[in-house]
Amino acid sequence: MSRVTAFFVAALLWSVAAHAAPDARLVLPDFAGLEKKATDSVAITLDSSLLQLASGFMNSSDPKDAATQQIIKGLRGIYVRSFTFDHDFVYQASDIEAVRKQLEAPGWNRLVQTRSKKTHEDVDIYIMVENQQAIGLALISSEPRELTIVNIVGAIDLDKLRKLEGQFGVPKLDLDSASAVGGDKQH
């Protein structure tokens, strides 16, 4: 086999492997119907170029900016859809069924699931791991008057994410303990 043929075969195999590699990017539905019903909606779509641009406008000497820069350095995208309603359960479970279906695909692992019968605050956190490195995070939070879906694509350093907690007025979260509990957590 000539070197040229070997090169093309290697390139072909690499291409197939690259396409076969799991992709942590979720295809988020349009949610146009929910947007009409919502009193407040947030739609954030940040691809790698926008993340890079945003990083350039952060001040490295500012602790919050510096920590954020460290987090988004290895990311390829952040996608957020959040809807707030003025009535309880305006949305249906079927509205996010398409997203849940994608999270059943190989590669995704449920990290945490919380169910609150009292407040009806349900949160599911999924993570995609490759070579012992988180390459994607998905979060579905459903509350009576709020529905939020977060999809973070790229090398996520949970330690850095944890360090950022508290900077937005949110207390620290022990993700290691949460996953150590056994992933699914219901109450």
Q: Please identify, among the stretches 27-35, 89-97, 102-110, 146-154, the one whose residues bind other proteins according to the rule CB under 8 A.
A: 146-154
- Evaluate whether 150 touches 139 at the Cβ level (below 8 Å): yes
- Provide the minimum distance between the beta carbon of 83 and other proteins in the complex, in angstroms, as a whole number: 11
> Which of residues 7 and 147 has its CB atom nearest to other proteins in the complex?
147
Residue of 4, 5, 56, 61 that binds other proteins (CB under 8 A): 56
- Evaluate whether 126 touches 106 at the Cβ level (below 8 Å): no
Strands 133-143 and 40-47: unpaired
Residue of 18, 131, 170, 182 that binds other proteins (CB under 8 A): 170
| Strand intervals (E) in the chain | 40-47, 75-84, 108-114, 122-130, 133-143, 146-154
> Which of residues 28 and 123 has its CB atom nearest to other proteins in the complex?
123
Whole-number Å distance between alpha carbons of 54 and 60: 12
Work out whether 187 is an interface residue with other proteins (CB under 8 A).
Answer: yes
- Evaluate whether 37 touches 80 at the Cβ level (below 8 Å): no
Binding site for other proteins (CB under 8 A): 42, 44, 46, 50-51, 53-54, 56-58, 68, 71-72, 78, 80, 82, 112, 114, 116, 121, 123, 125, 139, 141, 148, 150, 152, 164-165, 168, 170-175, 177-178, 181, 185, 187
